[in-house]
Structure formats: C-alpha cells, structure tokens
Chain A
Amino acid sequence: MIEILSQSAFASVQDLGRFDAVRWGVGTAGAMDRLALLVGNLLLGNPEDAAGVEAQVFPFEVRFEADLTFALTGADCAAILDGVPVLPWASTAAHAGQVLRLGLPQAGRWRGARAYLTVAGGVDVPMVLGSRSTQLRGAIGGLDGRMLRHGDRLPAGDAPAATLVAGVVPPGLALPLEADGLPSVRVLPAAEYGAFTDASLARFWTEPWKITPQSDRYGFRLAGAGLELKTQLETRSHGIVPGVIQVPHSGQPIVQMCDAQPSGGYPKVGTVIEADLWRLGQMPIGTRFRFLRVDWEAALAARDAVDGWLAEVRRVAGLLRARKAA
C-alpha cells in the first residue's frame, strides 16, 4: 500500500488508456505521457500497461506502508525519500514508513509538467472496461473513478523481488524536437483543414502557440494568431481521439487531451500525431511551442523512432536486471 499525504492532490491512477469502449461514449483517459509511464514499468519489470500514479500538482507526497520498489519518471521533481535525493528514471527501494516527496518540476535541459510514480507490481486497482485508468465522467477506473486525495491508500500488485535498475536517458533528452528554438509537435491535417483561410493556416504553422492556464487533462486551450474559416461549416458529432485540434468560434484552438470526451463537432484543423502526444502532455502551462506539418509517411517514421527508442530501453533495462540478478 502507498498512502497519499498531499491535501489536494490532482493526481490520478493511470495506465496507457482505455481504447475499446469509445462506442459506449467512454473516453480513453490514460497517462498524458505514456512513454514515461511505460518506462517506469520497464524499470520495475512490470507489464508495460501496469497502472501508476500521475502527479501534476506539486509538492506531492506519499508514504510507503510496506517495503516497495518504485520508479519516478516524467518530470524531474527533485524527489527526496526521507531526506535522501531519489534518482529519476531509475528504480529505488523504499522501506515501510518512508515518505517520498516530489517537489516542483526542475528547469533543466528539459522541463516536464507531470511525474509518474510506478511501483513494483503496479497500482492494483480493478480493471474496468479493459483499463485501470481513471475516467472522471462516469466515475470508473482508478480509485473510485476520481482524483486522489489525502488519506487514499493504493494497493500494489504482487511482484517478484525487484532488482534496482538505473540508466535510462529521459525521452525529452533522447528524442528532442525543436523548431526555431521552440519545442514542437508534429501535426497531420484533419478533415476541415482546407476550410480555413490560407493566411490563417500559414500563421498556424509559422507562429508560436502558447498553452493558456485553461489547460488540463481534458484539453489544452491555446493562444496565438487564431484561425479563420472561409465560411461557416455544418458539423455533426463524430468520434474523436486525443490530439485532435478543434477550432471553436473564437478561432483559438483547443487540443483535445486524454480526458477529452470521445466525440465532438467543432471543425478540426489537424491532429497531433500519437508519437508526439507525450511531448505536449509534458509542456507546462505558459509554454510557447510550434506545430510542424507532416504527412502520413513522416508521421509513421516518427512513431517508428519512438518505438525504436523504447526497444532500446527494453533491451538495456533487461540487461541491467539480468546483471544485477547474476
């Protein structure tokens, strides 16, 4: 068991997401930075889709009620375990009664917004409709389908004695993506792309966009040059996915994120490709970033690059565990 000590945690239990219940109106939920969660699980020898805790408001504090091996990935929050610094992107052994405290995300070469606490055996909440992710609307998954709060206790699943593994370069450093000195995400144009004026589309690709404070797990509201439709469109409700960039009447786009509802009717200028969603999910409020246009082949190449990096992490983590065990 781990106990949540923070008062208003805004943290939640997430796995890679719920992908087979959209036809029932259930969104995907899931970790905003799937790579970080997945690597956390790899470091512990967990199944890659095991659930962890996503923290997005700091400081964030938990107490271990039993000896437990854990890993911290995602944003580097200068964590301390009973006063001793904890190495991120590595596994660490905690003893019963120890308190883990995550501070503010550190500004280094790469600054994230969300940290992931994974534990050996995974956070063992019930699987609901194929996932343990917290789905707030409808209140399913995670812990009672809600954000965590002070006093909550999360069970860890059974796990073989974990060996300690370190040595993963964070994806923010291993897979950088910038344009004109700004962090960037790649976008495939969507159905209504051609319905916007050429001038506003040109600005969409060349001007920076800022993540406004009205941004959360549901969606990122952006501020920037704005998009204009050539003529008003009739739109009908249809299924959407995280990453879809909707443009409401104001012309300021909203990127749908992991807790977004699974349908929408606003015109869509494009979709942030799956391979880059973690980058956006880690950008703190106030970040200025760029959209980069890609075609299908380039989007698949981006996915292959992430898969290649993950394969290397799997290989290294496996080797390190084997060496420790020997």
Chain B
Amino acid sequence: MTQAPAVSCLGTSAMLFEAPGETTLTNQQRIWALAREVASWPEVREAVPGVNNLLLSFSAAPKRLEPLEMRLLGAWREAAAMPLDGRVIELPVTYGGEGGPHMADVIAHTGLSIEEIVAIHASPVYPVYALGSHPGYCYLGGMDPRIATPRRKVPVIRIPGGAVSIGGAQTGVSASDGPSGWNTIGTTEMVFFDASRDPPVLLQPGDSIVFTVAEIRK
C-alpha cells in the first residue's frame, strides 16, 4: 500500500491521481471533494472519480506537468471528506436459478449455503464509489468479505444487463449486456442508464444501493 499520493500521466490526454491508504468510504468522500474542486480548473475537461483515485482529462495539455501536480497534491491535502447526501435505491434480486448461473461457484468457494450467501449479500447498504466500466455501471463499496469469490478464470462472453455479480471482494450490477469475468449470483430489473435523461445515469457517487430478496431459486 502506498503511503503518499501518486500522480502520473496517461499520455498527453489525462492525469491520474491515486490516493494512499485503504479503500474506505471516508477516503472515497475525499476523492469526491477533490473531483468537485478540480472540475472547475481551466485545464481540466472532466474529473472522473475511480476507486480511491481520480482521473483528470485535459481540455488542453498543460505546457508543464509539475505545477498541475503540485496544485493537485495541495487540493488533496485540503480535501475534507464530503458525505454526499444521496439517494438509496432498493433493488429486488432474484438470487440463484437461471439468472444466477455462478451461485454454485460462490457456494463452493465460500462453503456457505445459498441462504447464508443471500442473507449476507442483501444486508449492507452499498455506497456508490464511482462509475465506470460501461455506461451507468457503479463501483460499490461495502461488500462483506465472507462472500468474496475470485474472478472467473475464463470470462463469460455475454452476461445480461441486470446481472448481480461478485468479483473478488466487490459486488456490482451490470447496466447492459456485455462480457464479464465476475460470478453472476442473481438478477434484477432496473434501468441504470438512459441517454435521454439528464443526468443519463440512475446512480451517482454518494447514492447507495440496497439489495432486497425477491426470490431464492435453487
């Protein structure tokens, strides 16, 4: 684990800020505060929070990197945890069965029963840390490590939108059909992304997800 924040460039189009320390909600709240601050800087096109990090895309690449790096590090020191007062969305999940084809692998890996896994998965309030991967997809914090299950050795070519899955120590919900290396344990129905809405996403950093049990299928 790095002790100091790290700044690096992604070619001439963006800069990456990585915060030190564990991924925690408090650290993430500082990332949100930093994002809000730097989004107003003239050389920044977009400020994109990641998990314990922040990407700045450039509207125009600066002549020199060092002054921007220094400002970024300074802004991080100033950034106080910003607890966004977001919405809590309930997602009813049908666990197991056809919509949860990899539940058996999670059972095999954790040694828990399907009822135990569902109870553990459906109990926390999961904060949305950041969006990424595909339109409307949320990186969530707060999964109970007891149900952590390694990513699949061979990714699945196409899992449907609404798939609820576990990859390592994280859980998430696919917002649209696509490939995934995670273990799909259930399915939910919700439109996470709609380009005709403003904003186009259902959930943003600061919002939270609660999974409820619609059904358990064995």
Contacts and interface: CB of A to CB of B under 8 A. Distances in A.
A22 B48 contact: yes
Interface string A261-273: 1110000100111
A23 B49 contact: yes
Given A137-B176, A236-B23, A263-B132, A241 B6 contact: no
Interface stretch (A71-79, A160-168, A207-215, A296-304): A296-304
A138 B11 contact: no
B14 A239 contact: yes
A190 B55 CA distance: 13
Give the interface size bracket for B toward A: 35 or more
A37 to B, nearest CB: 17
A158 interface: no
A299 B12 CA distance: 7
Interface string B1-43: 1000010111111101010000100000000000000000000
Given A138-B176, A296-B65, A191 B132 contact: no
Given A239-B14, A261-B133, A138 B6 contact: no
Interface string B177-218: 010000000000000010100011100000000000000000
Interface in B42-82: 45-55, 57, 61, 63-65
A129 B9 CA distance: 26
A273 B11 contact: yes
Nearest to A276: B11
A272 B11 contact: yes
A119 B94 CA distance: 49
B120 to A, nearest CB: 23
B95 interface: no
A139 B178 CA distance: 11
B137 interface: yes
Give the interface size bracket for A toward B: 35 or more
B103 interface: no
Interface in A112-143: 128-129, 135, 137-140
A238 B55 contact: yes
B46 A241 contact: no
Contacts of B51: 236-238
B126 interface: no
Contact of A234 (B1, B16, B201): B1
Given A129-B195, A238-B53, A137 B135 contact: yes
Contacts of B201: 24-25
B4 to A, nearest CB: 13
A20 B136 contact: no
A139 B135 CA distance: 9
Interface in A85-119: none
A25 B53 contact: no
A25 B9 contact: no
A26 interface: yes
A262 B22 CA distance: 23
Nearest to B6: A191
Interface string A296-315: 10011001000000000000
A288 B47 CA distance: 36
A240 B133 contact: no
A27 B135 CA distance: 8
B132 to A, nearest CB: 3
A275 interface: yes
Contact of B11 (A20, A21, A188): A188
Contact of B136 (A138, A273, A299): A138
Contacts of A22: 46, 48, 55, 57
Contacts of A296: 9, 12, 64-65
B11 A25 contact: no
9 contacts: A24-B135, A24-B193, A24-B201, A25-B201, A26-B135, A237-B139, A263-B50, A263-B132, A296-B64
The 9 closest A-B pairs by CB, nearest first: A239-B55, A263-B132, A138-B135, A271-B11, A238-B50, A191-B8, A239-B48, A25-B131, A236-B51
Given A129-B195, A241-B55, 8 more contacts: A27-B134, A191-B6, A236-B52, A237-B51, A239-B55, A263-B133, A275-B12, A303-B12
